[in-house]
Amino acid sequence: AQSVTQPDIHITVSEGASLELRCNYSYGATPYLFWYVQSPGQGLQLLLKYFSGDTLVQGIKGFEAEFKRSQSSFNLRKPSVHWSDAAEYFCAVGGGNEKLTFGTGTRLTIIP
């Protein structure tokens, strides 16, 4: 069965500092991997996705993620966070038209 682990429940980062959110997955085949962001009371917005090819994926809002098969990881990074990045971030794994399995989420707080 597929699963996703986001080990950090809550992360606090200063504005302008770099960010890395961790994601580890378990999947039987080559996974499709996603990062979503959710603002309070809102739906999910896709930040980026990995299907195949280049293991470093660029997304919207300056985010990127690197797929590391050997570590079963797909960590999300941003070189310099902005106050507007404060939100809940979800990593998800799935395959094609299969259902997505989400991690438990990481809440990001930005301090001035």
Partner 1 sequence: GAVVSQHPSRVICKSGTSVKIECRSLDFQATTMFWYRQFPKQSLMLMATSNEGSKATYEQGVEKDKFLINHASLTLSTLTVTSAHPEDSSFYICSALTGQNTEAFFGQGTRLTVV
**Number of residues lying near partner 1 (CB under 8 A):** 23
Kindly state whether residue 99 participates in binding partner 1, applying the rule CB under 8 A. yes
Largest CA-CA distance found in the chain, in angstroms, rounded = 42
Q: Which helix (H) or strand (E) holds 57?
A: strand 56-58
What are the DSSP calls for 86-102, one per residue? -EEEEEEEE-TTSPPEE
Q: Which of 5, 22, 49, 86 binds partner 1 (CB under 8 A)?
A: 49
Distance CA 6, CA 9 (A): 7
- CB 67, CB 74: distance < 8 Å: yes
Q: How far is the CB of 102 from partner 1 (least distance, A)?
A: 5
Binding-site string for partner 1 from residue 52 to residue 91, where x marks contact by CB under 8 A and - marks none: --------------------------------------x-
Which residues of the shown chain bind partner 1 in the complex (CB under 8 A)? 32, 34, 36, 41-46, 49, 51, 90, 94, 96-97, 99-105, 107
